[in-house]
Structure 1
Amino acid sequence: MVIAEMRSGFAAIGDTQFLPGYCVLLPTKPVTSLEELNFKKSSEYLLDMSLIGEAILKVCSPRRVNYSIYGNTDAYLHAHVFPRYNWEPIERIPYPVWQYSAENWRNAKYHYSTEKHGELREKLSNMIYELMAEAY
């Protein structure tokens, strides 16, 4: 599911794609929080997170991108990068994606598969590498 090796870690396409283009950034070195990284490393991580968001904007054309780092349930650093779309139900738009019903997260029709999402994965990968070439 890795789509790009970045300066700070690995961009991966999300395991569920009910919001097409959802990605995760995993650090190269496992840490429990962003604050465990020194300033240079945390800056690189946040830059990489923004590059993933920019790639999602260019490839998927959402109305915006949401970024989140929690670590409350899975106590290791990882960043979620979610596209948000105009076609989402109006009642969902003002709320975080985590408030979508469990059906969206667990439904097999949204699970990542190469057959359904391989082309999207490849486009995101190519765009991330293109953006990294400009940014680094």
Structure 2
Amino acid sequence: MLENNVAWKQDRILSAHRGDNPMVLAKMKSGFAVLGDTQFLPGYCVLLPSVKVDSLNDLDVKQRSDYLLDMSIIGDVINEVCHPKRINYSIYGNTDAFLHAHIFPRYEWEPKENIPKPVWLYAQEKWTDSKYLYSIDKHLILKEKLIDKLKERIKQIY
């Protein structure tokens, strides 16, 4: 069960390559599209690179182009499946010190005080409370829809 077996979290990229990262949606040209651990904004995804590097600047120009294109493809798919108002893209690497991109859908129904702010300013409970964390029971249908659309989009583009 996902909640009880978290060894894959120790190295999310390696576990994606091994096939035991349960959050993987699709292998992309530059890495892996994965579902975010928390789903208080339904459809939140992360793009993990194929090779662990510190930042986007550690990739050559072609790798950067592939990575940024893949990031936007994930955004397209979230738009198709979840119908948010917009998509926010973020690359930091401050807490998890390796390249990874957050792709957040933003919705009209979000609390008015949160709409103009970055998602990181949501209350800590949104990131840690089990009622917001990914679970197969609550999110499997969403995950399957994202997988299907990603596979479809990848075939069209690559």
TM range (shorter): over 0.9
Gaps of 5+ in 1: none
SS at match of 1:110: coil
How do 1:6-85 residues align onto structure 2 when only pairs under 5 Å count? 6-85=28-107
State the superposition RMSD in angstroms.
0.6
1:38-70: CA deviation from partner (whole Å, max 9, x where unpaired): 000110000000000000000000000000000
Per the alignment, residue 112 of structure 1 pairs with 134
Alignment length (residue pairs): 136
SS at match of 1:24: strand
* % identical equivalent positions: 61
1:87-129: CA deviation from partner (whole Å, max 9, x where unpaired): 0001100000000010111111111011110110010011111
TM-score under structure 1 length normalisation: 0.98
Larger RCO (CA under 8 A, 6+ residues apart): 1
1:75 to partner: Cα distance? 1.0
Gaps of 5+ in 2: 1-22
TM-score under structure 2 length normalisation: 0.85
CA distance in 1, matches of 2:59, 2:73: 19
Runs of 4+ displaced beyond 4 Å: none
1:16-57: CA deviation from partner (whole Å, max 9, x where unpaired): 000000000000111000011100011000000000000000
